[in-house]
Amino acid sequence: APAPPPARHLFSDPAEVEALRGNLLAWYDKCKRDLPWRTLAATEPDVDRRAYAVWVSEIMLQQTQVATVIDYYNRWMQKWPTLQALAQASLEEVNELWAGLGYYSRGKRLQEAARKVVSELAGRMPRTAEDLQKLLPGVGRYTAGAIASISYGQATGVVDGNVIRVLCRLRCIGADSSSPAVIDRLWDMANALVDRSRPGDFNQALMELGATVCVPKAPLCGECPVKQHCRARRRVEKELAFASQKLFGKPTPVPDVEECGVGGCPLCPPAAEPWDSSLGVTNFPRKAAKKQPRVMRTATCVLERRGCHGAPEYLIVQRPSSGLLAGLWEFPSLPLAQDLQEEKQREALADHLQAWMGQPVAAGGLRLIGEVVHIFSHIHQTYVVYSLPLEGDVTLDPASSPSRWVTEEEFRASAVSTAMKKV
């Protein structure tokens, strides 16, 4: 077993842990945001429905802001108020409702897992964090802990981005917070800290603190309910006191910076990147540099025809059922080689469209509209947008992927990505 971390990075005083729990919960009771899934979790007597509601909200909240999620969550719960209702939905319906929320595989996996609960677990959600993680596809350690603590009252901690930030600041953890060793320590800490009688509220309070007070760039330390337990803040205060003593010419003892010692501590900032006074508490957390996103260019064509009532209609085609934006609909698109000249990309797109339509498409007829940039988590995508108005009817090649003509209104209600809406 690895050696326990130095006391400076732990909560080893039971009285302090008690005080921290009390302060955080009192703040949460007073300041928590009113969110639909919280209301449901607090009032729904049926434990499976409660767990289902928390699960849906937690999956939607991964990578997405609360303000965006609320509307999607309400529509989802209205359409599929129970696991059984969701299990009967089609993937197309799920994608349509999810359209615009991003990371589309989340919706798909949620629905697959709901089917599993209904068909293999008799409609009963697993009752512990361990079983939730083991039995439900797409449910990781965090989501399992959130469902179990909030819906069942299991005293188990959670670690998400907000919790990482708060804990790293509370305990001056400056080692790479995305490394498995640090993440393991943070889970130990979260499990030790969680309030035994109100675990769901405690976990939500810790996350809420990270989302609203202990925010990444300019944390509101003065308003923080746990500031007296925060070692990063204590360090900042000591430095300020030291600086003002120096200013007034008072004797200046070397400030006690509470480092663990030079090198060797697995949780302190690396020796090559020591504490930077100008950053204050935002010295923590620290992450290894992110990989640069992949740069991609894609030609896309808005094919337009007159519908039966004279209103314009647009061709959309379905993407493959796996990979990026799986199963979503888009204007016919073609990934481009980098640095391809405009003339060449136009020709490549014309060839691609010809395969769809089963008839020659003149490259010269394609009108270049402009470029649209969309950032996916790991891809910097530029869509080069063309349009092509069509005369007369077009018979689409049935051997190609599914395709259909839609009005603008139908387009907006379809399972299309935010990037295509921008296009």
- The nearer residue to ligand SF4, 234 or 352, going by C-beta atoms, is 234
> 3-state class of 405 per DSSP?
strand
Q: Are strands 333-336 and 329-330 parallel, antiparallel or unpaired?
A: unpaired
- The nearer residue to ligand SF4, 126 or 210, going by C-beta atoms, is 210
> Smallest distance, Å, CB 212 to ligand SF4?
10
- Cβ atoms of 219 and 282 within 8 Å: the answer is yes
- The nearer residue to ligand SF4, 206 or 357, going by C-beta atoms, is 206
Kindly provide the residue ranges of all beta strands, DSSP E only, lying in 307-347, ordered along the sequence: 312-318, 329-330, 333-336
Q: Are strands 294-306 and 312-318 parallel, antiparallel or unpaired?
A: antiparallel
- Whether the CA torsion 110, 329, 299, 64 is positive or negative: it is negative
CA distance 100 to 328: 11
In degrees and rounded to multiples of 5, residue 71 shows phi and psi of -65, -45
* Single-letter amino acid, residue 183: I
> Smallest distance, Å, CB 174 to ligand SF4?
13
SS3 annotation, 275-308: CCHHHHHHHCCECCCCCCCEEEEEEEEEEEEECC
> Smallest distance, Å, CB 157 to ligand SF4?
16
- Cβ atoms of 419 and 381 within 8 Å: the answer is yes
Neighbours of 246 (CB within 10 A): 12
> Smallest distance, Å, CB 230 to ligand SF4?
3
Helices (H), 32-104: 36-43, 47-61, 66-79, 83-87, 91-98
CA distance 345 to 366: 11
CA distance 144 to 139: 6
> Smallest distance, Å, CB 16 to ligand SF4?
14
- CA 228-267-179 angle, to 5 degrees, is 120
- The nearer residue to ligand SF4, 105 or 212, going by C-beta atoms, is 212
> Smallest distance, Å, CB 13 to ligand SF4?
17
Q: Is 410 a catalytic residue?
A: no
> Smallest distance, Å, CB 234 to ligand SF4?
9
Kindly provide the residue ranges of all beta strands, DSSP E only, lying in 356-410, ordered along the sequence: 367-375, 379-389, 403-406
> Smallest distance, Å, CB 18 to ligand SF4?
17
Angle formed by the axes of helices 141-152 and 47-61, nearest 10° = 140
What lies within 8 Å, CB to CB, of 342 at 6+ separation is: 368
**Binding interface with ligand SF4 (CB under 6 A):** 166, 169-170, 213-214, 219, 221, 224, 226-227, 230, 232-233, 281
Neighbours of 111 (CB within 10 A): 22
- The nearer residue to ligand SF4, 87 or 211, going by C-beta atoms, is 211
- The nearer residue to ligand SF4, 21 or 169, going by C-beta atoms, is 169
- The nearer residue to ligand SF4, 224 or 420, going by C-beta atoms, is 224
- The nearer residue to ligand SF4, 89 or 186, going by C-beta atoms, is 186
Q: Considering 16, 44, 58, 112, which one is annotated as catalytic?
A: 58
Residues classed as catalytic? 58
